[in-house]
Chain A
Amino acid sequence: MGVFNGTLLGVYVEDTLVAAAQDVSVSMSVETIDVTTKDSSGYRELLGGLRTASFSVSGLVDYTEATYESTADLATILIARTAVTLKFSTEVAGDQSVSAEAICTSLELSAGTEDTATYSATFEATGTVTLATIPTPP
């Protein structure tokens, strides 16, 4: 059994772990091209089309965290509108990681009365999405 605790999974922006994350996810999909014709015997026929991936991370707001990628850093990335390197990984040698260049397309901050302030960020991949085996640490 190769199952593991999901707490190990994190989102790394420019090689640095995003701070105070509680939930992370990566979503990959392939669009389809309908190539059904009269010769398809009444069954739909498809070709693989555009491949896309998006990363999401949400957690507690921390503006000052200097050693991690803070909420302020995420806001800076969104405002800059530039692609950053993203990695969805446990960083355990031998595990699989998903990485891509990605643009931060949304950042939501919210805070209720007598509640923790939370953030939620989404990144859309631009270009190749790479699946790789995590190397052994130095």
Chain B
Amino acid sequence: MKVKLFKAYKHGRKHWKAGDEPTVTNELAAKMKKAGVLDPPKPKAEKKETTTTEEE
């Protein structure tokens, strides 16, 4: 199956970088999934705006 890597991954002679889309066996894809290589990076949590209410 074709997979998209979101992190660099080394497997034997192959050293894939983030963004590569190799076609690999389902077994290797499962290992990559376990290693978190196939998961897109989580978007950074937005900073909560601190609102100050002025009391009269």
Is B one of A's binding partners? yes
- Measured CB to CB, the residues of A under 8 A from B are 10, 12, 14-17, 66-68, 73, 76, 87, 89, 91, 93, 134-138
Query: What 1/0 mask marks residues of chain B from 20 to 51 whose CB sits below 8 Å from any chain A CB?
Result: 11111111111011100010000000000000
Question: Size range of the interface on B?
Answer: 20 to 34
Contact residues in A for B14 (Cβ distance below 8 Å): 14, 16
Are A15 and B27 in touch, CB under 8 angstroms?
yes
With A91-B1, A138-B33 as contacts: A68 and B27 at CB distance below 8 Å: no
With A138-B29, A138-B30 as contacts: A14 and B13 at CB distance below 8 Å: yes
Contact residues in B for A10 (Cβ distance below 8 Å): 23
Are A67 and B25 in touch, CB under 8 angstroms?
no
Compute how far the CA of A135 lies from the CA of B29 in the bound complex, rounded to whole angstroms: 11
Interface pairs (12), CB distance under 8 Å: A15-B11, A15-B24, A15-B27, A17-B24, A67-B20, A68-B22, A68-B23, A87-B25, A137-B1, A138-B26, A138-B33, A138-B34
